[in-house]
Structure formats: C-alpha cells, structure tokens
Amino acid sequence: MENKNSANLRVGFHSIEMLLKLSPENIKKIFIPANRNDDRVQNLITMAENLSVSIERKKSLAQHPEAILKNEANLGLSDLKKYEESIQHDNPTFLVIDNVIDPRNLGACIRSAAASNVAGVIINKHHCSPITPLVRQVSAGGTEAIQIFTVTNLINSLKHFEKLGYLILGTSEHADSIHTELDLNKPMLVIMGSEEDGVREKTLDKCSQICTLSKKKTINSLNVSVATGVILFEIARQKLA
C-alpha cells in the first residue's frame, strides 16, 4: 500500500499531465479511479500508454488520479546557486515565499509563478508550509513546471542574490511606494508573506526596496495568492514591454 504522505505522491489531473509532458521517465506508476471512464480519464490513459508509463485502476480512488514517482529531488541553496548560474536568462525573476503556512495559498502562489514566467520559487523552510500533495494539487501542475528551492537560511540566500546585483523587493501594506510606480524591469527577487502577518521584519530589513499593492485606505491587503499574481504579472508586463 502506497504512503499517502509520501513526497513521491502526486494527486490530480493537472499535476500528472504536467509530469507526463515534462518527465514521464520519473513516473513509477499512475493510478486512476476504477469507476471513471470519462474523456479526462481516457485522455490520461492514452498519454500514459503512448509514453509507456504503467497505469492501473484502483477501487479506493473515487475522483482524482494519483501517481507515484521514482525519485523526488529536494533542492536547496547550493542547487539554487548552480541553477542561477546556469539559466539562459539575462533578466530573471525569482519568487520568495517567506511566511505562508496555508498549503492552499502556497499552491496558488506557485501556480501564479509558473504562469508568469518566473525563473524559480524560493521557500523559507522554517516559516512556510512544506510542498505537500495538497500544495501540488492546488498548483494545478505548477510544482512540476517550475524549479522550487527550499532554503534553511533565507537571509543568506538574499545576501547571495544581492551580491549578484538583484533587486530584493519586499511587499508590505505599510509601504509608501506602490508596485505600479516602480521600475521592475531588472533581475529581482520578490518576497511574499501571509495576509495575516506579512513578510517577517527580519526579512524586510534585507530588502533593497519595499512596495504595497494597493493604496486604498479602507482595505489595502490582499490574500497572498492574489497578491502574488498581481505583482508577478506586473513584473512580467514590464519585462515584456
């Protein structure tokens, strides 16, 4: 019996379809609900069979398919440094998650990152939700489509990128500058925190610039996943202009 909490477990059509597109060789087996025969399931079966990926029906699954991977890489700061050196991208954006403990919010943030051409996601290990099957499911394939790095010392990571000339951009509802007034067309790390507590003060102290996403006086804070989408697509817009 497979461990439902295994880091090698993927749940949902989006995640498994993305794996089949990007790294089918890393899939050990796919399980599909025994009682589903709709087009979505049939398409998944066809994709798997065309790629010679093992697939099996499972009575205990009611709605969503599952996949078990052969290997799951855990990427840290040393991997992040090597990746930054290797990417063929002269103006990258990295999303930093500092204080998001809700797995659904984390998954939604990663989905926005994957959709907005972010080079990678950096997660503060001790102040965030881990990458769980729920995070992966909510990300709708985003965790499979983008590089994710979990670091134990976020401050050291920020210092490394600062030395490389990156803009370290923090977000806070108390900031004077709004994101649309800033020049975001440069290599940068943008840091997001929870809507309850925001980015930690220790992290904000290391930012070279801090901005808000709204100047409305009555309500100027957003759900972190919404806020992440807002700022990442403004960055993408400026970099494509």
Give the pLDDT confidence of 125-137 residue by residue, as tens digits. Answer: 988 999 988 898 8
Mean pLDDT within 56-71: 91
Q: What is the pLDDT of residue 184?
A: 95
pLDDT of residue 217: 67
pTM of the model: 0.86
pLDDT at 4: 47
DSSP string, 174-196: T-SEEGGGS---SSEEEEEEBTT
Can you tell me the distance from the alpha carbon of 167 to that of 5, in angstroms, rounded to the nearest whole number? 37
Predicted confidence (pLDDT) per residue in 65-79, tens digit: 999 998 777 899 999
Q: Is the pLDDT of residue 84 over 60?
A: yes
Average pLDDT of the segment spanning 75-99: 91
Domain 77-240 in the same topology as domain 9-69: no
- 89 vs 141, higher pLDDT: 141
Domain ranges for the chain, please list them.
Answer: 9-69, 77-240
| C-alpha–C-alpha distance, residues 113 and 123, integer Å | 13
H helices of the chain, in order, are 13-22, 39-50, 77-86, 103-115, 133-138, 142-145, 154-163, 201-204, 224-240
Which strand (E) or helix (H) includes residue 167?
strand 167-171
Whole-number Cα distances in Å, 32 to 67, 68, 184, 197: 9, 12, 44, 40
Tens of pLDDT, residue by residue over 189-240, are: 999 998 788 899 999 999 999 999 887 766 657 789 999 999 999 999 999 8
We find that the CATH architecture of domain 9-69 is 2-Layer Sandwich (3.30)
Provide the pLDDT confidence category of residue 5 given band limits of 50, 70 and 90: very low
8 Å CB contact between 227 and 234? no
- State the chain's mean pLDDT as an integer: 90
Q: Is the pLDDT of residue 161 over 60?
A: yes
pLDDT at 9: 87
Q: Which CATH architecture has domain 77-240?
A: 3-Layer(aba) Sandwich (3.40)
- In the predicted structure, residue 187 carries a pLDDT above the cut 50: yes
Residue range 49-77: average pLDDT? 91
Please tell me the predicted confidence (pLDDT) of residue 219: 62
